[in-house]
Amino acid sequence: MVLWFVIVAPVLVAEVFRSPMVDYRVVALGAALPLAEAVVGSAFVLHTMAAAIGALVVVMAATVKRRLQRRRWLGIPIGLMLHLILGAVWATDQLFLWPAFGFSFSDVAVPDRSRPLVVWITLELIAVGVGWWAWRRYELDQVANRQLLLRSGQLSRSVLST
């Protein structure tokens, strides 16, 4: 279930913030980071709100007086937070609010992996539909818009204002 996070998270950020200066590639990366834990089959720190807040603190502290760098790297904690929402991690208190209920991850299942296959396929198909909608919405069929997104991670100001 990769497309669900990598496509939907940046589109949500684009639609909510409508900022041409966000690096949407970094948002996608942040949303995909916790999937590395799913490969192991167990949830760890990246599936917690503590990790998202910790990443935000690190980015804010590391980019004092460097606004352009801050703007780019804020995509990581934003993506992590969106993974918690899109992956329904918020429904697992022991994981979402870690370490409030103890430090152990041994008996906590990764919500991404506990879904039935039909749900995975449905979410991936929805992500493809969202991607197709975003392709048209952000006019990525135009070479200049597509190159801007690939090169800088940004969307054209003109497509975000409509």
Whether 108 maps to a domain, the answer reads yes
Q: Find the domain containing 49 and state its range.
A: 3-156
Mean pLDDT of all residues belonging to the chain = 90
- Does pLDDT of 107 surpass 80? no
Q: Cis peptide leading into 20, omega within 30 of 0?
A: no
Whether 161 maps to a domain, the answer reads no
d(CA 37, CA 44): 7
Split into its structural domains, the chain has a count of 1
- Reported pTM: 0.90
Whether 162 maps to a domain, the answer reads no
DSSP 154: -
Confidence of residue 88 (pLDDT cuts 50, 70, 90): confident
